[in-house]
A and B are shown apart, each in its own frame.
Chain A
Amino acid sequence: MKIKLDAIRACLDGAIPGTIATCSPDGTPNMAYLSQVQYVDAGHVALSYQFFNTTRRNILANPHARVAVIDPETGAHYRLSLQYLRTEQEGPLFEKMKAKLAGIASHTGMAGVFRLLGADIYRVLDIERVPGETLPPPPPRAHLLAALRASAEQLCLCTDLDSLLAQTLTCLEIHFDVHHAMVLMLDAPNARLYTVASRGYTQSGVGSEIALGDGVIGVAAREGTPIRIGHFAAEYSYTLAIRDNLQRSGLAPQLETEIPLPGLPGSRSQLAVPIRAGQRVLGILYVESPQDLRFGYDDEDALVSLAGGLGAAIQLLQHAPVDAAERSASASPAAKPGPAPEAGPVLEVRHYAENDSIFLDGRYLIKGVAGAILWALLNDFAASGRTAFSNRELRLDPRIRLPDISDNLEARLILLGRRLVEHQAPIRIDKTGRGCFELRIERPLALLHTPHGV
């Protein structure tokens, strides 16, 4: 194959619909429009199977097809000679195409008409450049390899999860020209993702949650595959996902324990990339843009690589040796009583055992593992005046009930710390070294506990 499939991926994002020619066994040609040509790997593409039509009948009888695609920026016109191999009706590729098709359908007024029945996998036998005029390609928005290298160099220098996440979002802004991004961590046993860092939204949304399988982010996490949409698709949007979440959650709505997901009101392009440690999905790196077709295959490649580095770094930091400070904090847990609380009105801290939610003076702060952590810290403080804590002891603390042995406790602490800051609470947790932190209380506290079923 003289022309590499990798080199013409820009033609496959559907900006200009492709066409497919097939031929019946009796030699009658057929021509049809394609909603989607999906790059699978250097030697395969997948076409969306949406209707049982002549194209479908033909390729089942005669597997040879030709597809024409056009580069939306230069007008370069290519014909792919294909051989049909098989159809996938579930799994990562199917979900990727289903999400993309939802965007295309909604953009072209075909929502409700286009429905993915299968991903037809074809071997690419040859790619031919159709003779004709072309326009010069526009200059690239960012040199993605250079952006990746600069980011990798900067992420290497981060010594804790908090700075690693912040630096990732900064790199996306500076090097990739991506201004709306968030990182969510996976809570696998509860099948939910929680936002731990974000950039470019009016509300940070840290602590907001999304169910596995909901929207671009939830599907990417469930399938362990990048999901990329080039147009707004209602069924993958967050406003809807949030509403569904609310309806599904058994929590009494009067508790108002939902933190809204950060989201771009006019979001058109979305890309969610799994952050992995080996085979395990740790979370999702998500970017979005108000422009249509903002993220292409090359952006997806770059972000998958960036997320690869991020996953490895998260894993390394989680298993990094602890600081001397943590060892001393763990060795003598009650040895360092903190300063006496500042004077001021009493802060009412209410804990609901049902979901470990915490309310400060009646305002919702946090729930779940981070809520349980805060409740344990405050109880220790009330009992003994203790303010110095270590991650390691928290991981073993039976009151906290981490959902998974591999759960990223540091991410929970970042989430808790951010929520306290955003809440302007008179309670703070300050990092004092790797794997250890200090509780800072600025007002007298009244701890109120509501057990299950009350």
Chain B
Amino acid sequence: MTQALSPLLDEDQARFICGGVSISAAACRGAGLPSMARATGCRVAADKRSITILLSATASAGLIDDVRRNGAIAVVFSLPADHRTLQFKGGDARVVPLEPGDEALAERYVDAFAGGLAPLGYPTQVIRSVLACRADDLTAINFTPSAGFLQTPGPDAGNALRSGA
């Protein structure tokens, strides 16, 4: 049925999550401790039906482990300059092979994110070192967003995004 609906992500949201935003992912195993990791780049499929995030395999080991077990994932995207924040969740997350250009995408992402933080007075060297990821350590997780939420602080925070109509 899902395939019959239009994608959850619209053009603007797809552009937003692929821009210089902070990206963090969570997964969990039953009702135990959740796992979490920072991502270092994002791409959206041409049909906007799936999101792929790039991560350091070493720094995301726990998250990758949980995703492999049950496929549940939540990824939050936030722009520090105005706090616009979106969260997407999916139940079919899986580790996928890197695509050509992913390494360059991760580099561009770090530049865009750090570049956006500099005028806000954030220590960009620190951000760069947090997001630094060796090419051979880069990995990718792909999922179909089945739910999306507006999480910008304010009265509308938590509202579900329009699901495909």
Q: Is B97 an interface residue (CB 8 A)?
A: no
Q: Are A77 and B59 in contact (CB under 8 A)?
A: yes
Interface residues of A in 75-130 (CB under 8 A from B): 75, 77, 79, 81, 108-110, 113-114, 125, 130
Contact for A113 among B30, B56, B73, B154, CB less than 8 A? B154
Which residues does chain A contribute within 8 Å of B122, judged by CB atoms?
A: 15-16
| Residue A53 lies at the interface, judged by CB distance under 8 Å to chain B | yes
> What residues of chain B lie closer than 8 Å to A53, measured between beta carbons?
157-158
CB contacts (< 8 Å) of B139 on chain A: these are none
Query: Closest CB of chain B to A99's CB: distance in Å?
Result: 19
Q: Which residues of B, 58-99, contact A by the 8 Å Cβ criterion?
A: 58-59, 70, 72-76, 78, 82-83, 85, 87, 89
Q: Is the CB of A51 within 8 A of B59?
A: no
> In the assembly, what is the distance between CA of A204 and CA of B40, in Å?
52
Residues of A within 8 A of B25 (CB): 31
- The B28-71 residues at the A interface (CB cut-off 8 A) are 28, 30-36, 38, 56, 58-59, 70
For residue B25, give the distance in angstroms from its CB to the closest CB of chain A.
7
Contact mask for chain A residues 12-38; partner B; CB cutoff 8 A; 1 contact, 0 none: 000110010111010111111100000
Report yes or no: A135 in contact with B125, Cβ–Cβ below 8 A: yes
In this complex, the member of B24, B28, B72, B121 whose beta carbon has the largest number of chain A beta carbons within 10 angstroms is B28
- Pick the contact of A133 from B75, B76, B89, B132 — CB < 8 Å? B132
Residue of A nearest to B120 (CB): A108
Contact digits for B120-154, partner A, Cβ 8 Å, 1 yes 0 no:
01110111011010000000000000000101011
B74 touches A108 (CB 8 A): no
A105: nearest chain-B partner, CB-CB: B153
Convert A220-243 into 0s and 1s, putting 1 for each residue whose CB lies closer than 8 angstroms to a CB of B.
Answer: 000000000000000000000000
The A42-89 residues at the B interface (CB cut-off 8 A) are 50-51, 53-54, 62, 64-66, 68, 70-75, 77, 79, 81
Indicate whether A253 reaches chain B with its CB closer than 8 angstroms.
no
B126 and A74: CB pair below 8 A? Answer: yes
B26 contacts the other chain (Cβ, under 8 Å)?
A: yes
Whole-angstrom CA separation of A15 from B121 in the bound complex? 10
Q: A31: which of B31, B56, B76 is its contact (CB, 8 Å)?
A: B76
CB distance from B31 to the nearest CB of A (A): 5
Instruction: Give the nearest-CB partner of B60 in chain A.
Output: A130
Whether A51 lies near B157 (C-beta < 8 A) is yes
Chain A CB within 8 A of B8 CB: no
Is B31's CB under 8 angstroms from A133's CB? Answer: no
Flag if A28 contacts B72 (CB, 8 Å): yes
Residue B17, interface by CB 8 Å: no
Q: A23-B31, A28-B74, A28-B89 are in contact. Are A75 and B127 (CB under 8 A)?
A: yes
User: In the complex the two chains form, is A64's CB within 8 Å of B36's CB?
Assistant: no
User: B123 CB to closest chain A CB, in angstroms?
Assistant: 6
Bound: A114/B24 CA distance, A: 22
Bound complex: CA of A29 vs CA of B38, how far in Å?
Answer: 15
A29 near B28: Cβ-Cβ < 8 Å: yes
A131 at the interface (CB under 8 A from B): yes
Residues of B contacting A19 in the complex (Cβ-Cβ under 8 angstroms): 24, 36, 76
Most B C-beta atoms less than 10 A away, residue of A66, A81, A114:
A66
Kindly provide the distance from the CB of A35 to the nearest chain B CB, expressed in whole angstroms.
8
User: In the complex the two chains form, what is the Cα distance from A68 to B157 in whole Å?
Assistant: 21
Q: Given A31-B75, A133-B129, A72 and B36 touching (CB < 8 A)?
A: no
Judge if A159 is at the interface, Cβ distance under 8 Å: no
Smallest CB separation, B39 vs chain A (Å): 11
User: Is the CB of B27 closer than 8 A to any CB of chain A?
Assistant: yes
- Closest residue of chain B to A83 (Cβ to Cβ) is B33
Give the docked Cα–Cα distance between A219 and B140 (Å).
Answer: 49
- Distance in angstroms from B46 CB to nearest chain A CB is 26
Instruction: Show the binding face of A for B, using Cβ within 8 Å.
Output: 15-16, 19, 21-23, 25, 27-33, 50-51, 53-54, 62, 64-66, 68, 70-75, 77, 79, 81, 108-110, 113-114, 125, 130-135, 292
Question: Which A-B residue pairs are the 3 nearest by beta carbons?
Answer: A21-B26, A23-B28, A21-B34
